[in-house]
Structure 1
């Protein structure tokens, strides 16, 4: 019977059962990540609230100032037209502004609330100021009176000096504005008044036909109040943005930071308390990346636990298999001094040699099996042309064959077939199967190696067929177990370790494939040999990779 062993669950490339489907992750997610999209949306929402509020208020501020300027311009133009056209002007042929009548008309007909009107003559000299002819006179609380003869304190003196300098600067700015208006161009500005408040100012030249007679200036001094109202209106937006940020931070802490800390604590528990697996059911039910991480950690620790169990079983099996030839050798050595004839001594020596060969073969196969995982993880898969690889392997058997050896025949497909894998381990798979088939084939028989392409998820098929007695139906899966050996009568004792087919399955599954065993049935319904079939994904197909 073929030497074989079933790889344990831990020997699977990614810790899966052979028929287990790969873990499917949700494909359609916001930004590629549900949790990432959630975090991004919350943070952007808070910023958009703040920025949106700022933009809206800035636009409103600019529009309000512009509307105030347009309103003052319309009022100033209307007043200028009245002053220039209703007989207030005098002088022939050069008209002049009757400043007395103009001042009287303005005092009688235009005393604006919240606005300041000033009239200047052709020389830029002030004629009337509404702050001086109405009760709307700005003022402030005076400091306590100081005793007579006491000089003003340094702080009061400095403030008085600063106020004087500021008033002089404002008067110079107004004078420049009036001078530009006397040149015939209306002026619209936003500046500071004597009290330091921001005002919207409009200066319009007063004309009689085309002759400039003076300048009318209108000011609205509630701009700072409007701006303060805007700033106060921005506070709710800032508070809402702050609340959203705080809520986002809390949610991130609850749904991201704490679960990650729990996973870290569970991993430490596995390391420190020698636990075998991580199990956090409430996190595994989540549909985001934290749930993926919890499931992956649980799968990883479960795989490691299974691998540790498999290593322990493997060590126990190795110990048992090595003890058999060692026990035989010890018995032979103890018996050797008691042997009296040369024939008995030669028979005993031959038995010792068989046990030594068996022990050497067993240790070699155990060493190869233990290094297999490391070799598979170290070598990077590449595209391999199976036609050439199988032809080279069969060619070696044909070249080294002796007259009484079982021949090997290769049947390639018409097209070239390629798989993604490692040529060394795959070559070991085919050699193990061919050696196993030759050991069961009778004299005069042959071993057939067939490579073909079929439909299905594993389109590359390799069949290795012999003409031996076949495999008992109850052992079609058992033959892949470690150290399982059932040889036909007459086979050399100790020539097989029982690891060959186990190594075959381990390598094939590491390449994302599948290997099965069955019997070949003839036309009369009798078993005419055994067949081992390997299915592998092609290099062009998206099959599993190790």
Structure 2
């Protein structure tokens, strides 16, 4: 089965296809295999060929013990010692005097295993549950037995002929050494299933005979066969149920997974020429409260992130092409003008323009290279714990000299408490260097830059404030865009416009936020002139 999206209703529709997925085959196979193992265990447990059951065995042993005690009591009634012939006569008389239930067969042997006499029960026992099932059909079990018999005939040597009741009694008499009543097990004779027991007859401390007792267990075996037949009927009914549930389970698992895989493998009709413009559509299974729903959500998020990255790369390529064209056009004009320029000041001005554009291109290409490698570097580098205070001290000492060269004062204000961050220390230092150098470039002589930090619950805010002209409303929306610059014309070409964009990318890679705002008095509206710009970096701790 497979599933398709109905775009109009957003529902899944299932339809059968010619092949079954490997996952569905495994589900069907393992479920049927488990049912087969259960059936095999039941068949192995229910040996319907000869096992009579614990209750029948105990009954047979009790009867053997009672019969033995009855015969031995006949000897105790004799006052004088008995010769072997008299012992045989006494045991035969006692044996024939017993009222045995139907199904019992008794054999009497001498100590040297010579057959003396035998008797069969004729008393009809009360109706039992075993007898009530006699003659009821056991079709499934009969088919299984027939198959087993054919299999045995085909691959195994022929079974030996079954023994007679007298041969089994002779075996029981020979195995009764040691005294007491002994149960020898359940067997299959030429007259059907039997249970076999034996007991030694003792008189004056010596064994004078051996009693062998056989009980026909056909009724008990038939009852067990009927019970097994009912279990097998349940299993037969369970097979289509298991198949139906397995197919349903396979369809709810393998079908959506197969559809998700097909959606990932196929992206439009590439042979038709329009597949390059189509976007990969992952079916939305987020409504399922299971792992498949989570997988669908994760794949959709991954594909969305992939296309966002592709779109960002395309925009980046367009921005790079646009930024490179400007200095190239200037270079082309300067080189063209060199041919007609007069020696002296005109050529020197053109050479200055060419030098400025070359340096601008070099700076631009370096920043572009750094920006393009930034994401991969952020993934490769290992985050570590570090303290914010020592890093701020080093940055302040390094940048205070640069600010002093322009007549700008750099003031730092960091708390005395230890603030520990987890991340890439060098990359975060690059962010603060970009923000402070940007503030220095906008401050005029005598200006001030404040570099301070405060801890707020589970975050720390690092702030860079300057006393420059501030930011326009349009700049606040675009300030972190690539290649955007709001600098005066006199500073044109000295900055690539990538510094703040790189800073934002680094901060967001550390699960933080960065924003810019104008410094105004409290409760002042936007018409009040700005007192400078403020850049705030928020990082988790």
Q: What residue is the counterpart of 1:173 in the other structure?
A: 171
Q: Which SS does the other structure have where 1:110 is aligned? A: coil
Q: What residue is the counterpart of 2:103 in the other structure?
A: 114
Q: What residue is the counterpart of 1:269 in the other structure?
A: 266
Separation in 2 of the partners of 1:165 and 1:198?
11
Superposed CA deviations along residues 231-288 of structure 1, whole A, max 9, x for unmatched, are 545534654665565345423421222222211211122285343222313x332221
Contact 2:327 2:361 in 1 (8 A): yes
Q: What residue is the counterpart of 1:461 in the other structure?
A: 461
Q: 1:71 aligned to 59, 62, 84, which one?
A: 59
Superposed CA deviations along residues 170-197 of structure 1, whole A, max 9, x for unmatched, are 466323224x1xx532212115465385
Q: What residue is the counterpart of 2:530 in the other structure?
A: 527
Separation in 2 of the partners of 1:438 and 1:230?
95
Q: Which SS does the other structure have where 2:405 is aligned? A: coil
Separation in 2 of the partners of 1:452 and 1:419?
13
Separation in 2 of the partners of 1:524 and 1:43?
72
Q: What residue is the counterpart of 1:143 in the other structure?
A: none
Q: What residue is the counterpart of 2:485 in the other structure?
A: 485
Q: Which SS does the other structure have where 1:130 is aligned? A: strand
> Taking structure 1 as reference, are residues 237 and 45 closer, same or farther at Cα in structure 2, changes over 3 Å only?
farther
Q: What residue is the counterpart of 1:294 in the other structure?
A: 296
Q: CA deviation at 1:396?
A: 2.1
> Taking structure 1 as reference, are residues 395 and 270 closer, same or farther at Cα in structure 2, changes over 3 Å only?
farther
Superposed CA deviations along residues 292-333 of structure 1, whole A, max 9, x for unmatched, are 222222222222222222222221122112112222222233
Contact 1:266 1:278 in 2 (8 A): yes
1:256 pairs with 2:253: yes
RMSD (CA atoms): 4.1
Contact 1:50 1:241 in 2 (8 A): no
1:390 pairs with 2:392: yes
Larger RCO (CA under 8 A, 6+ residues apart) = 1
Q: CA deviation at 1:475?
A: 2.8
Matches within 5 A, 1:179-198: 180=177, 183-192=178-187, 195=190
Contact 2:455 2:461 in 1 (8 A): yes
Query: Higher mean Cα deviation, 77-86 or 93-102?
Result: 93-102
Q: CA deviation at 1:207?
A: 5.0
1:353 pairs with 2:355: yes
Task: Give the TM-score normalised by the residue count of structure 2.
Answer: 0.74
1:199 pairs with 2:194: yes
> Taking structure 1 as reference, are residues 440 and 416 closer, same or farther at Cα in structure 2, changes over 3 Å only?
same
Separation in 2 of the partners of 1:388 and 1:241?
73
Separation in 2 of the partners of 1:194 and 1:59?
15
1:280 pairs with 2:283: yes
Q: CA deviation at 1:394?
A: 2.5
Q: 1:83 aligned to 71, 75, 90, which one?
A: 71
Separation in 1 of the partners of 2:523 and 2:87?
137
Point out where structure 2 has 5 or more consecutive residues left out of the alignment. 1-22, 124-156
Contact 1:450 1:462 in 2 (8 A): yes
Q: 2:232 aligned to 209, 230, 235, which one?
A: 235
Matches within 5 A, 1:498-513: 498-513=497-512
Superposed CA deviations along residues 213-238 of structure 1, whole A, max 9, x for unmatched, are 53333222327656655654553465
Separation in 1 of the partners of 2:388 and 2:394?
10
> Taking structure 1 as reference, are residues 63 and 468 closer, same or farther at Cα in structure 2, changes over 3 Å only?
farther
Query: Higher mean Cα deviation, 377-386 or 163-172?
Result: 163-172
Superposed CA deviations along residues 54-73 of structure 1, whole A, max 9, x for unmatched, are 49956999996322221012
Separation in 2 of the partners of 1:132 and 1:245?
50
> Taking structure 1 as reference, are residues 412 and 241 closer, same or farther at Cα in structure 2, changes over 3 Å only?
farther
Q: Which SS does the other structure have where 2:463 is aligned? A: strand
> Taking structure 1 as reference, are residues 164 and 486 closer, same or farther at Cα in structure 2, changes over 3 Å only?
closer
Query: Higher mean Cα deviation, 296-305 or 55-64?
Result: 55-64
Task: Give the TM-score normalised by the residue count of structure 1.
Answer: 0.74
Q: Which SS does the other structure have where 2:519 is aligned? A: strand
Contact 1:85 1:208 in 2 (8 A): no
Q: What residue is the counterpart of 2:405 in the other structure?
A: 403
Contact 2:109 2:173 in 1 (8 A): no
Matches within 5 A, 1:335-350: 335-340=337-342, 342-350=344-352
Matches within 5 A, 1:363-442: 363-398=365-400, 403-442=405-444
Q: CA deviation at 1:395?
A: 2.5
Q: 2:243 aligned to 246, 260, 266, which one?
A: 246
Contact 1:46 1:240 in 2 (8 A): no
Point out where structure 1 has 5 or more consecutive residues left out of the alignment. 1-34, 135-158, 539-546
Matches within 5 A, 1:221-232: 221-222=216-217, 225=222, 228=225, 232=229
Q: How many residues align?
A: 469
Query: Higher mean Cα deviation, 443-452 or 461-470?
Result: 443-452
